[in-house]
Amino acid sequence: MRMSLALALALSTGVLGAPAPAADTKPSATKDSSTTIFSSKSAGPSPTTDSLYPSPTVPYASEDLNESYLDKFQNELPEPIRGSRGANILGPQNVELDRQNPDILAPPTTDSGSVENVKWPFSLSHNRIQDGGWARQQNVHSMPIATTIAGVNMRLKAGTMRLGIPYPQGSLEPELQGQCLSFDHIPDRELYMIPLRYRRVLPKKKGSTPRSSGWNSQVVDSRTFKVSKTIALAEVTVEVGGMRELHWHPTQPECEGNARITVFAAEGNARTFNYQPGDIGYVPPSFGHYVENIGNTTLKLLEIFNSDKYEDISLNQWLALTPPDMVKAHLQLSDDTISKLQK
């Protein structure tokens, strides 16, 4: 399952962190009496024949697809080799971990600079086992970058209640003096999980459903669930081979699961992480990211925000709201392509 908060715009990976072209595609300068232009074997419009494109000032971005090695590493020994770069491992190796994290072992060429770790597997979190269920958590101790939101992976048996109320017995009776209550049989500790004798079923709340090619999401926030003033949620589904478009959240961080995700920070820093069932991730506010489904089944994940409203900005929308001349000058896009961007 690979869902790249990735957009069906494979172009984005080339635009935001592309490597230099291979030697056989290196542009050569061709001079005439008045100017210098670039020529290249890379696919793309010729600046001398298509007046819609401005003349390039740097080589074209690489067209390397940077495919994930997830399937490849399941069938052979994982090695930190991509193309002509890297070498095999001569020392000890945790093969299972390397198979789960192919884009850490053999990162795509679009990775650049440094990005803090944004992945944590709940399998490494200490588990709290109680009558009626269990719970394990992720916080800043396990993922230091996640300073504004934490995650809990919890299982409650049917009819179990999760409740935590601190009650020092010595302070209860003075506080409730005059009331006919007895505290002789209260527990000596927090119960945390309590099996109940009855169950309550809540109706399903329908949220908005943004859709795009290869993926869709269902959003629930304060606009559809009025009492939710501090949390918003999106259930995202990405089909096999699909991609959650490149986007970012302007004000809130994000928790993710089950995907290949590339996170773009400032100043050309980018890093790719792999997610499997049971993993949790954190994307800081305004960090661009895409999710790609690189598996053989539909990818499903929850995006959770410490906010009353769900907000995101896609690369498509950002470019559409940018003056066309600036887009053309930076990305060498034609007027026809720019006109198809959606606000």
State pLDDT tens for residues 95-116: 999 999 999 999 999 999 999 9
Q: What is the pLDDT of residue 121?
A: 93
The proportion of the chain whose per-residue pLDDT surpasses 90, expressed as a percent, equals 24
Q: What is the pLDDT of residue 137?
A: 92
Question: b/e for 310-328, b at 16 or more Cβ within 10 A?
Answer: bebebbbebbbeeeeeebb
Q: Which tokens go with 90?
A: 């001569």
Distance separating alpha carbons of residues 42 and 332, to the nearest angstrom = 14
Decide if pLDDT at 57 tops 80: no
Contact of 343 with 317, CB cutoff 8 Å: yes
Q: Which one of 38-42, 57-61, 257-261 scores highest in mean pLDDT?
A: 57-61
Mean predicted confidence (pLDDT) in 295-322: 86
- Does 303 qualify as catalytic in the annotation? yes
**Domain span(s) for CATH 2.60.120.10 in the chain:** 1-18+43-66+108-151+201-343
DSSP notation for 228-292: -SS-EEEEEEE-TT-EEEEEE-SS--EEE-SSEEEEE-STT-EEEEE--TTEEEEE-TT-EEEEE
State pLDDT tens for residues 233-291: 888 888 887 777 666 666 655 554 457 899 988 788 999 999 988 898 998 888 988 88
Q: What is the pLDDT of residue 231?
A: 86
Give the residue, 211 or 101, on which the prediction is more confident: 101
Decide if pLDDT at 202 tops 80: no
**CA-CA distances (angstroms) from residue 90 to 66, 87, 269?**
25, 9, 29
Q: What is the pLDDT of residue 48?
A: 39
- Give me the catalytic one of 190, 235, 303, 311: 303
Q: How far is CA 264 from the centre of its chain?
A: 10
User: Thinking of the domain 1-18+43-66+108-151+201-343, which architecture would CATH place it in?
Assistant: Sandwich (2.60)
Q: How far is CA 263 from the centre of its chain?
A: 7
3-class SS at 75?
A: helix
Decide if pLDDT at 183 tops 50: yes
Decide if pLDDT at 9 tops 50: no
Q: Which one of 32-36, 214-218, 301-305 scores highest in mean pLDDT?
A: 301-305
Mean predicted confidence (pLDDT) in 181-197: 66
